Structure 1
Amino acid sequence: MSFIVAGRLDALPSPVRDHLGNFRHKVFVQRLQWKIPGVAHDATSEWDKFDGGNTVHLVAMSDDHRVCGCARLMCTTGPYLLRDAFPQLVEPGGLPPSSPSIWEMSRFAGSGLRDRTGSSSGMGLFPYVIALAQSFGATRVIGVVTPAVARLYRRFGLDLHNMGNVAASKRAHIVACSIDVDAALFKRLQRDPQALLYEITCYGQLGQPLA
Structure 2
Amino acid sequence: MKIIQTQFKDMPSSLLAELGAYRYSVFARGEGWSIPPRLSTPGQEYDKYDRSDVTWLLAWSAREGICGCARLMPWKEPEYDGVVIPFEQQSVWEMSRFSARLDVSSELPLTLLWHAVQISEQNGIESIISSATPMLEKMFSSHNVEYEPLTPGLIRSEDNLFAIRIPVKQPALAEKYRGARRFSPEEVLPSLGVSLNWQSRR
What's the counterpart of residue 160 of structure 2? 173
From 183, 186, 197, give the equivalent of 1:200: 183
Are residues 185 and 105 of structure 1, via their aligned partners in 2, closer, same or farther at CA, if it must alter by over 3 Å?
A: farther
> Structure 1 stretches of 5 or more lacking a match?
204-211
Question: Percent same amino acid at aligned positions?
Answer: 24
Report SS of the residue matched to 2:36: coil
From 119, 130, 137, give the equivalent of 1:132: 119
What's the counterpart of residue 55 of structure 1? 54
- Taking structure 2 as the reference length, the TM-score comes to 0.75
> Structure 2 stretches of 5 or more lacking a match?
187-202
Are the equivalent residues in 2 in contact too, given 1:60–1:125 (CA < 8 A)?
yes
Report SS of the residue matched to 2:69: strand
Residue type at the aligned position of 1:36: I
Structure 1 stretches of 4+ moved >6 Å: none
What's the counterpart of residue 34 of structure 1? 33
Once the two structures are superposed, residues 112-156 of structure 1 have per-residue CA deviations (whole angstroms, 9 ceiling, x without a partner) of 443xxxx35643322122212222222111112233332332233
The two structures, once aligned, show a CA RMSD in angstroms of: 3.0
Are the equivalent residues in 2 in contact too, given 1:110–1:123 (CA < 8 A)?
no
Length, aligned pairs only? 181
Deviation at residue 98 of structure 1 after TM alignment: 5.2
Report SS of the residue matched to 2:119: helix
From 121, 128, 136, give the equivalent of 1:141: 128
Report SS of the residue matched to 1:43: coil
Are the equivalent residues in 2 in contact too, given 1:159–1:179 (CA < 8 A)?
yes
Deviation at residue 27 of structure 1 after TM alignment: 0.5
